[in-house]
Amino acid sequence: MIRQYFKQAWELIRQNKLFSIIYVAGTALAISMVMVIAIFFYLKTGNIYPELERNRLLFVKMAQITPKDTTERSNASAFLSLQTVKNCFYNLQSAEVATATLFTYKENYKVHTLGSTIDKKVYVKYTDANFWKVFQFRFLQGKPFSQEEFDSAIPSVVISESLSQHLFPNGQAIGEYFIMNEKEYHVNGVVKDASYLLSESFAHIWLPYTLHPNHTETFAQEGILGFFSVVILMKNSGDTRRVSEEIHTSLQRYSSNLTHNIDLLGQPDNVLASSFRMGNSPLDINDILQKFVFVLLIFMLVPAINLSGLNSSRMEKRLAEMGVRKAFGAPNSTLLNHILIENFLLTLIGAFVGLLISYLLITVFSDMLLSGLSILSSDIETVTGSTSGITPGMLINFTVFSQAFVAALIVNTLSAIIPAYRFTKKNITDSLSENYTN
């Protein structure tokens, strides 16, 4: 039965080329916008290399301090100091491990090999040995720098595959040296390239923050704030509350003999909330999500109205056919199902086209997904290297496809249900009458 529906649907498409084109275009518009949003969220939350355990991650990027003496009205906010990280985050019991990354504001890094003078600008990340436990990098050569190397501030670093190919084209990079900003470093490990769209883990070179001269610097009073942001790997994805409580207790204890209160402004964030946090602006993730849902509805509703109108006009032509079928005893539900399924074929074609358009839009405008990194790096070009950062795996995966399919179903139902219902309910004699006008 369904096969016959599809055969009939295909014939109808061929016979009404104009209508089909407009219908497919309308559906494609709807699906493309919906999928742009869906892919956008997938990039923020999906388990994508090298952040394969994103659902177990918590982020603390900043803190705000206010004087305990409430007559003094001021506040300061910034990243965390090393002291704060050591006292409240490194020793978390309820989580598996925590890593701290140093914030380097617009510092320029250039590398070249010992023999050459040609510089290449790179984006570097100063982090610790725990970093490699929080993120799941694939080591093509060598291994990460160890806790001992980190503690002793040994210039032993990890570089990305593409940088390794640039610096050491003959393949072997382990143990090799290179110069960066007039200091010498040697390669301990080479990892598969990470995408710059995942800003928490991305870099071209990862090195121990103990090598950076300012890592013990603090900002504002009492050494609470500084230049570190923290990523915590929980033991289970449901541990958020427990870990959060332990963090707040720790901070309370830490600030008990200081003159300022420490406020995390709602952190620790999960990966979705963290991607929306901008500095010390208040973050209401529910509000943001509500807005997105509203936008999604609009993106589906407006084209659905369009498509409903088109369907309405088309159905008028088939009124006679429906009249005959009803006269022969077909129940309304059968007719309704038939229309919905027929419609679905067109919707699927539109959804496919829409999905392709969304891929195009995401790839072309991928620089808009950059916001986190663009603040840190001295310029965008160094980070992007003129690539789009989108890997095929980000676009072609089960999550994205299933969401596109569901979107197609919704658009199909929205656009066909009202006209189909109205027309199948029509009187048999009215349907069969030639003079029937709407």
Question: Angle at CA 57, nearest 5°, toward 392 and 362?
Answer: 25
Q: Which of 337, 374, 397, 413 binds other proteins (CB under 8 A)?
A: 374
At closest approach, how far in Å is the CB of 330 from other proteins?
Answer: 24
At closest approach, how far in Å is the CB of 236 from other proteins?
Answer: 33
Q: Which of 152, 252, 313, 429 binds other proteins (CB under 8 A)?
A: 313
- The CA distances from residue 420 to 124, 301, 336, 425, 426, in Å, are 59, 17, 6, 8, 10
Region from 4-12, 126-134, 294-302, 390-398 binding other proteins, contact rule CB under 8 A = 294-302
Which DSSP state fits 173?
Answer: -
From residue 160 to residue 179, the character string flagging contacts with other proteins as x (rule: CB under 8 A) and all else as - is --------------------
278 interacts with other proteins by CB under 8 A: yes
Burial label for 376, CB within 10 Å (0-12, 13-18, 19+), is middle
d(CA 412, CA 347): 6
At closest approach, how far in Å is the CB of 54 from other proteins?
Answer: 22
Q: Which of 309, 324, 406, 427 binds other proteins (CB under 8 A)?
A: 309
Question: Which residues from 22-51 bind other proteins, rule CB under 8 A?
Answer: 22, 25-26, 29, 33
End-to-end Cα separation, the chain, in angstroms: 31
Q: Which of 130, 210, 306, 347 binds other proteins (CB under 8 A)?
A: 306
Question: Which residues from 108-127 bind other proteins, rule CB under 8 A?
Answer: 108
Question: Which residues from 71-90 bind other proteins, rule CB under 8 A?
Answer: 72-74
Question: Which residues from 88-107 bind other proteins, rule CB under 8 A?
Answer: 105-107
At closest approach, how far in Å is the CB of 81 from other proteins?
Answer: 16
Number of residues in contact with other proteins under rule CB under 8 A: 42
At closest approach, how far in Å is the CB of 365 from other proteins?
Answer: 7
* C-beta separation of 352 from 24 below 8 A: no
Question: Which residues from 384-413 bind other proteins, rule CB under 8 A?
Answer: none
Closest to other proteins by CB, 248 or 318: 318
At closest approach, how far in Å is the CB of 134 from other proteins?
Answer: 25
Element (H, E) at 67: strand 63-67
Burial 318-328 (b: 16+ CB within 10 A, else e): bbeebbebbee
Close Cβ partners of 244 (under 8 Å, ≥ 6 residues apart)? 58, 268
At closest approach, how far in Å is the CB of 352 from other proteins?
Answer: 18
- The CA distances from residue 373 to 104, 200, 275, in Å, are 11, 9, 11
Burial 82-120 (b: 16+ CB within 10 A, else e): bbbbebbbeebeebbbbbbbbbbeeeebebebeeeeeeb
From residue 206 to residue 245, the character string flagging contacts with other proteins as x (rule: CB under 8 A) and all else as - is -------xx-------------------------------
d(CA 337, CA 343): 10
At closest approach, how far in Å is the CB of 253 from other proteins?
Answer: 30
Region from 58-66, 84-92, 297-305, 425-433 binding other proteins, contact rule CB under 8 A = 297-305
d(CA 308, CA 229): 51
Element (H, E) at 205: strand 205-208
Helix (H), strand (E) counts: the chain: 16, 15
At closest approach, how far in Å is the CB of 329 from other proteins?
Answer: 28
What are the residues binding other proteins (CB under 8 A)? 18-19, 22, 25-26, 29, 33, 72-74, 105-108, 213-214, 278, 298-299, 301-303, 305-306, 308-310, 312-313, 316, 361, 365, 367-368, 370-371, 374-375, 378-380, 438
